[in-house]
């Protein structure tokens, strides 16, 4: 392994170089790429040199998500300590079900749960890191389902219609989870949004009342904290009061927006979060921790076990159940996604996260200002958070994105805003400079001119 470590280290340095150059990331034709790399799995093994040569070729054909040209996803950039710790995680390779098997790493996850819960104002918190925000939402929704109908876990549905409530701007994982949970996609009520993209609470209250009248069983409201496209936040306080009235579980999907709680002023985007029953909060998006690192917090100790605990006499043999988080997880064997976030937190502290977010908000403001002042662009709305949606006059957003991708000037996406396809820029990498953004806008204008004159 020692000589492999050396080669690994060299490849890692090579990757850093690639990112630093901010070289374009041209789109590889799939067929050509497959041929060129010869990715087939062989019958006979290869030498160390051959294997690392292949690995190096693959690295070079993989988008560099820490490049300032990667602006396509809700993640991008790298928190360096988190990446370093995650490399060690691959070597340590513990499974996060028991203290016996994972030792100090279990205590580290507990620290994260309790510390992050404080930022959410959860006083009696428990939590578990899930494999992605979709699965964290799934767990929150499951707890809601199981509280609304105590028999569901044991016996499944009794045939009554069970329902979830979410805004039209919500993440698609809610529909997927409704299907997985046996509630059904058709029973996810999509509540209309205001123009800025937040859920209309009057409509929510009406929908719930109609359902109750019709003998449905409302399981949970899923409030979105940071929508995928506009970065909008649902009004938690008002939603919580509707939920309280009807005793319905409130899950807050803060996969994208949860980290705003770490910013001393902008944490008000999540005003009322302390009334939620559960919260998803991804560290692998805005916080730059390698994928995946999705914290699921619950306001009420014991609820996770109530939905997920399963005796396994061969596994849970020693220690208090607090020390065996396998009892509160959808997974059995579970990767250690705690060490990387903990290490980053040691390096940054609460204050460092604030500063990092401050820089992200500044970049988003720069981008929005630039767009507003440009004659070629129209800003859809001032961003509350870290996504900026805008129109480029005279060209189709889809075509523009494809052209920017073709020779690797930028990976950027488009989205539907009020019925129109517009450009969607995500500014989550705090290492990006304003001149990187300026170059992007210049590239876009150049493409716009080309397309129009073609």
Q: How many of the other CB atoms lie within 10 Å of CB of 381?
A: 17
Say how many residues touch a second copy, by CB under 8 A.
153
If we measure between CA atoms, which residue out of 168, 164, 165 comes closest to residue 182? 164
- Among 414, 427, 430, 437, indicate the residue that binds a second copy (CB under 8 A): 414
Site string for a second copy, 247-276 (x = CB under 8 A): ------------------------------
| Residue 377 tokens, joined | 């662009």
90 lies in the binding site for a second copy (CB under 8 A): yes
* CA gap 389, 286 in Å, rounded: 18
44 lies in the binding site for a second copy (CB under 8 A): yes
| Residues 178-237, interacting with a second copy (CB under 8 A) | 179-187, 228-229
| Residues 147-166, interacting with a second copy (CB under 8 A) | 152-162
Instruction: Select 103 or 302, whichever has its Cβ closest to a second copy.
Output: 103
Instruction: Select 242 or 304, whichever has its Cβ closest to a second copy.
Output: 304
Q: Please, what is the Cα angle at 347 between 122 and 431, to 5 degrees?
A: 100
133 lies in the binding site for a second copy (CB under 8 A): yes
The interface region with a second copy, picked from 243-251, 257-265, 311-319, 439-447 by CB under 8 A, is 311-319
Q: Is 184 left (phi over 0), alpha (psi -120 to 50) or beta?
A: left
319 lies in the binding site for a second copy (CB under 8 A): yes
The interface region with a second copy, picked from 65-73, 361-369, 376-384, 446-454 by CB under 8 A, is 65-73
* CA gap 377, 386 in Å, rounded: 18
411 lies in the binding site for a second copy (CB under 8 A): yes
The separation between the first and the last C-alpha atoms of the chain, rounded to the nearest angstrom, is 56
Angle between helices 434-453 and 338-373 (to 10 degrees): 50
Instruction: Select 205 or 348, whichever has its Cβ closest to a second copy.
Output: 348
SS3 (DSSP) at 422: strand
- Give me the least distance between CB of 148 and a second copy, in Å please: 12
The interface region with a second copy, picked from 190-198, 327-335, 359-367, 443-451 by CB under 8 A, is 327-335
* CA gap 139, 307 in Å, rounded: 9
Count H helices, E strands: the chain?
15, 11
- Among 22, 24, 168, 176, indicate the residue that binds a second copy (CB under 8 A): 176
23 lies in the binding site for a second copy (CB under 8 A): no
* CA gap 125, 139 in Å, rounded: 15
Q: How many of the other CB atoms lie within 10 Å of CB of 297?
A: 28
24 lies in the binding site for a second copy (CB under 8 A): no
| Residue 410 tokens, joined | 């930028």
Instruction: Select 238 or 292, whichever has its Cβ closest to a second copy.
Output: 292
- Evaluate whether 171 touches 133 at the Cβ level (below 8 Å): yes
* HEC string for 45-75: CCCHHHHHHHHHHHHHCCCCCCCCCECCCCC
Q: Which residues pair with 229 in a beta bridge?
A: none
Site string for a second copy, 342-381 (x = CB under 8 A): xx-xxxxxxxx-----------------------------
The interface region with a second copy, picked from 191-199, 323-331, 370-378, 439-447 by CB under 8 A, is 323-331
- Give me the least distance between CB of 212 and a second copy, in Å please: 17
88 lies in the binding site for a second copy (CB under 8 A): yes
| Residues 99-128, interacting with a second copy (CB under 8 A) | 99-105, 107-108, 111-112, 115
């Amino acid at each position: 392994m020692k000589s492999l470590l050396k080669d690994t280290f060299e490849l890692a340095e090579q990757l850093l170089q690639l990112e630093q150059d901010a070289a374009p990331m041209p789109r590889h034709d799939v067929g050509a790429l497959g041929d060129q790399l010869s990715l087939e799995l062989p019958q006979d093994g290869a030498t160390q040199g051959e294997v690392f040569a292949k690995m190096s070729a693959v690295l070079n054909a993989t988008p560099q998500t820490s490049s300032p040209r990667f602006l396509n996803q809700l993640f991008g950039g790298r928190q360096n300590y988190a990446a370093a710790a995650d490399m060690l995680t691959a070597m340590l390779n513990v499974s996060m079900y028991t203290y016996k098997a994972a030792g100090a790493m279990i205590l580290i996850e507990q620290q994260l749960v309790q510390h992050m819960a404080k930022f959410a104002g959860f006083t009696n918190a428990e939590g578990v890191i899930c494999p992605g925000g979709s699965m964290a939402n799934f767990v929150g929704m499951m707890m809601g389902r199981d509280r609304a109908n105590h028999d569901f876990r044991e016996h499944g549905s009794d045939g009554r219609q069970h329902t979830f409530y979410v805004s039209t701007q919500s993440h698609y994982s809610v529909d997927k989870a409704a299907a997985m949970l046996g509630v059904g996609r058709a029973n996810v009520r999509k509540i209309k949004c205001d123009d800025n993209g937040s859920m209309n609470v009057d409509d929510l209250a009406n929908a719930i009342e109609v359902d109750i009248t019709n003998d449905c069983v409302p399981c949970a409201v899923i409030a979105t904290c940071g929508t995928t496209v506009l970065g909008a936040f649902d009004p938690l306080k008002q939603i919580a009061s509707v939920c309280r009235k009807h005793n319905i579980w409130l899950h807050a999907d803060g996969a994208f927006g949860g980290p705003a709680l770490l910013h001393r002023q902008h944490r008000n985007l999540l005003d009322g979060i302390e009334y939620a029953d559960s919260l998803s909060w991804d560290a692998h998006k805005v916080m730059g921790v390698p994928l995946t690192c999705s914290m699921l917090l619950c306001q009420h100790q014991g609820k996770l076990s109530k939905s997920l605990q399963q005796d396994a006499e061969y596994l849970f043999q020693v220690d208090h159940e607090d020390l065996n988080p396998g009892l509160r997880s959808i997974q059995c064997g579970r990767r250690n996604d705690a060490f990387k976030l903990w290490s980053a937190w040691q390096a940054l502290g609460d204050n460092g996260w604030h500063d990092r977010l401050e820089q992200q908000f500044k970049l988003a403001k720069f981008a929005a200002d630039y767009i507003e002042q440009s004659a070629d662009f129209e800003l859809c709305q001032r961003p509350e958070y870290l996504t900026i949606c805008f129109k480029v006059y005279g060209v189709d957003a889809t075509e523009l994105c494809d052209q920017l991708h073709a020779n690797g000037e930028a990976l950027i996406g488009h989205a539907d805003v009020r019925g129109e396809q517009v450009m969607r820029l995500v500014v989550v990498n705090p290492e990006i400079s304003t001149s990187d953004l300026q170059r992007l806008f210049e590239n876009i204008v150049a493409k716009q001119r080309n397309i129009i004159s073609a």
